[in-house]
Structure 1
Amino acid sequence: MATAQPLVVADEGTVFEEIRRVAAVVGCEFDHATDLATARGRWTRAPLVVVDEDAAIADRPALPTRESVVLVCKGAPGLETWRRAAALGARRVLSLPDDEADLTGAFADVTEAPAEHPGPVIAFIGGRGGAGASVLAAAVAVEADRSTPALLVDCDPLGGGLDLPLGLEHAEGLRWPEVRLSGRVSVPSLIASLPTRGTLPVLSCGRDGEGPTPRALSAVVTAGRRAGRTVVCDLARQAMETTAAVAALADLIVLVVPVEFRACMAAQQVLSHLRPHATRFAIVASGHPVDGVSPARTAALLGPPMVAELRPERRVAATLESGEFALPPKGPLAAAARAVLAELRAPFVAQAA
């Protein structure tokens, strides 16, 4: 049996076109009636009814009382608008264009029911530049996507584009400079517009143009979580405003820190910036260990637990340069990715139990 569509009651005209445009943003198809009399037979079956105020002015047939009725008007609603809303049983009155985001959300709630369990959000940041955080973020996203849908989000506009190491620089699809968000994000529409590595969608920064704003990043990460995806974010060390916005949403922030004293001091500064926005951190020690100094001892200088070591891997380095990004199943990179995912998922397993 086909799922009932939302019902829009509006005569052809400007308001109807605006409603249709808003519905298209979240990929919502709807049933259309030009007046309330025509809508009567479909009034109770639709999961949402959106009524143009002009359609409510005419003589109203006796309509059953129901939930999820929205009255749409142009400009600020007056007393008469609220009277018409009350007569229809509409508990919400939305003014266009000011309340476009709310109308987008109403259509999205019908089109995209939330996943039974929200997805986790994990963010990666280097203790210093070149620590390997972007490579580990990509590996974790690829590994996570093997079992549950994931989304890889590039948050670093100065990183050269996360599509490059994945071999997606020539793949069709939108990058951050081309992404236009209006109100709430439709995950199916967004995913369909992005380049993918296998089944993994990647929202990458471009080689030119602007990077994501804090608001845009928050909207995408929240939408991915709501859809039940594992959202993997590669954070910027420079753009701390956008980094803080993602950190506030992350269930776990992983600092990738080379086993060097200076790198640890740099990572300590990164931690001090992030601690006001997040509570759960982990360390991955990268690079070659220094003689006589264990990675665990170096990581202990920072405080958060060390969950993995990431030793250099010649084969991975070669494939990164060629844009193929091989993930050997038994190599250090894959092992680190699995260890990080186990750390991420541990609280979710505990909550489910």
Structure 2
Amino acid sequence: MTGERPLVVAADETVLDEILRVAAIAGCELDRAPDLTAASGHWARAPLVILDEEAARLPPTLPSRGGILLVCKGSPGPATWEHAFRVGVERVISLPDEESELACAFADIAETPAEEPGLVLGVVGGRGGAGASVFAAALALTADRDPGGALLVDCDPLGGGLDMLLGLEKTPGPRWPDVRLSGRVSVSSLAATLPRRRHRGGSLPVLACGSKGQGPSVESLSAVLSAGRRSGRTVVCDLPRSLDEPAEEVAVRADLVVLVVPLEVRACQAANRVLPRLSKLTARLGVVVCGRSKSPAVRTATLLGPPLLASMHPERGLWTEVERGEFPAKPRGPLMTAASQVLTVARREARAASR
């Protein structure tokens, strides 16, 4: 035993199983003891102590301390409160209704908040096929070179799948249909299980929608966004143009939402249909234009409203490589250069907002 893990003293196997399950979701390892006598050597050093009702019923034989939780099945009765008061419990948590509170307590131990919060970035296409998924992947690969790392999240269940875009469709690991989260979770524990795209700066975890099944629920996506921000990781979300409820959750919480618009008159008109709804959700919007045009599209793009964050010239061979499943990552190409520019703006704006 290390003395740095929460200590669980539980004789009720059902309650113990639930405690262990919630701790696993939060990415928190536990030390266990069958009773208070066996717990005496670790009682004072543990950052948190969790008791079940059977342990709390025993006469207190250990010195008083803070950070004690009592976990019970269902609503606590008068006897439970009496035992909790006698042992010096700070909080009584009833399962399953207050599972998220227990998860939060474990997550605070397992993952200390980073000195600088992570970013949440959303990417939306001004029209279908605008290249938003490609830009989101480039943005995440760029951010993943930072010490905090990044996480690429697919929020478009009707898209082609970010795992396929990055050549990870055959790589084992959970997709959104396999992931159901709520409350407080550990993003590092989640990321460790996901398919990863290796690149020169490391390996980027990707949470894709997969070929079948539902996309993210609002609750699961919210948990991932909160965990990423808390851990100092940049979470990049590829959003559908339809802006369903999970996408709206991202837009509301994002430090920056990027609208990718090809330099075409029809693409700019399509983007104008997306902008009003986005603008109702957030004022933190910016535009990235792509392509080369001498037509009125250039002027139209600059009149969309949100500030122009970057302009990308066509990258030779980009779409051919994408079709082959060979996602390009040329560090000095137009795509990665634009991604770096957008990331710089997002960081600057986030720091300004926190002052």
TM-score computed with the length of structure 1 as normaliser: 0.93
Query: What is the rounded CA distance, in whole Å, between the counterparts of 1:349 and 1:103 in structure 2?
Result: 31
Contact 1:156–1:239 (Cα < 8 Å) also in 2: no
Q: Is the 8 A contact 1:299 1:305 kept in 2?
A: no
Residue matched to 2:89 = 90
What pairs up with 1:153-302 in 2 under 5 angstroms?
153-198=153-198, 199-291=203-295, 293=296, 295=298, 297-302=299-304
State the SS of the aligned residue for 2:317: helix
What is the CA–CA distance in structure 2 between the aligned matches of 1:138 and 1:18, rounded to whole Å? Answer: 37
SS at match of 1:24: helix
Instruction: State the distance in 2 between where 1:48 and 1:56 align.
Output: 15
Give the whole-Å Cα distance in 2 for the aligned partners of 1:60 and 1:341. Answer: 55
RMSD: 2.0
CA deviations on 1:296-344 (whole Å, 9 max, x unpaired) are: x222321111111122223211210111111222221122111111111
C-alpha distance in structure 1 between counterparts of 2:259 and 2:243, whole Å: 16
Distance 1:230 1:277 in 2: 20
| Helix, strand or coil at the partner of 2:286 | strand
Give 1:265 shift: 2.6
Q: How does 1:127-146 map to 2 (within 5 A)?
A: 127-146=126-145
Q: Deviations over 1:229-287 (max 9, x none)?
A: 11111101124212111111100011011223332232222121122221211111123
The answer to whether the 8 Å contact 1:316/1:327 transfers is no
Q: Which residue of 1 aligns with 2:10?
A: 10
**Mapped contact 1:165–1:325 kept (Cα < 8 A):** yes
The CA distance in 2 between the partners of 1:3 and 1:317, in whole Å, is 54
Q: 1:103 is matched with which residue?
A: 102
Distance in 1, Cα, partners of 2:307 & 2:280? 18
Task: Count how many residue pairs are aligned between Structure 1 and Structure 2.
Answer: 350
Question: Which sections of structure 1, spanning at least 5 residues, go unmatched?
Answer: none
The 1:48–1:262 alpha-carbon spacing in structure 2 relative to 1, beyond 3 Å, is same
Alignment of 1:329-340 (within 5 A): 329-340=331-342
Report the Cα distance in structure 2 between the residues aligned to 1:2 and 1:117, rounded to whole angstroms: 28
- Distance in structure 2 (CA, Å) of the matches to 1:189 and 1:84: 35
Q: Deviations over 1:174-198 (max 9, x none)?
A: 1111213254222122111110011
**2-structure distance, mates of 1:79, 1:322:** 66
Q: What does the per-residue CA deviation read over 1:190-232, in whole Å, with 9 as the maximum and x for residues that have no partner?
A: 1111100111101111111111112211111111111111111
- Higher mean alpha-carbon deviation, 100-109 vs 118-127, is at 100-109
Structure-2 residue corresponding to 1:118: 117
Q: Residue 312 of structure 1 aligns with which residue? A: 314
Q: 1:15–1:52: 8 Å Cα contact kept in structure 2?
A: yes
Letter in 1 for 2:109: V
Change (3 A) 1:317 1:258: same
User: What letter corresponds to residue 327 of structure 1 in structure 2?
Assistant: A
Deviation at 1:3, TM superposition (A): 5.7
Q: 1:352 to 1:242 in 2, by over 3 A?
A: closer
Q: Is the 8 A contact 2:118 2:231 kept in 1?
A: yes
- Distance verdict in 2 for CA 1:8–1:193, change over 3 Å: same
In the aligned structure 2, how far is the partner of 1:62 from the partner of 1:133?
59
Query: What CA distance in whole angstroms lies between the structure 1 residues aligned with 2:354 and 2:23?
Result: 35
CA distance in 1, matches of 2:264, 2:297: 10
User: Shift of the alpha carbon at 1:352?
Assistant: 8.3
* TM norm structure 2: 0.93
1:350 is displaced (CA, Å) by: 4.6
Distance between the aligned counterparts of 2:11 and 2:140, measured in 1? 47
Paired residue type of 2:5: Q
Structure 1 residue matching 2:101: 3-state secondary structure: helix
Measure, in 1, the Cα distance between the counterparts of 2:317 and 2:146.
25
Which blocks of at least 5 consecutive residues in structure 2 are unaligned?
none
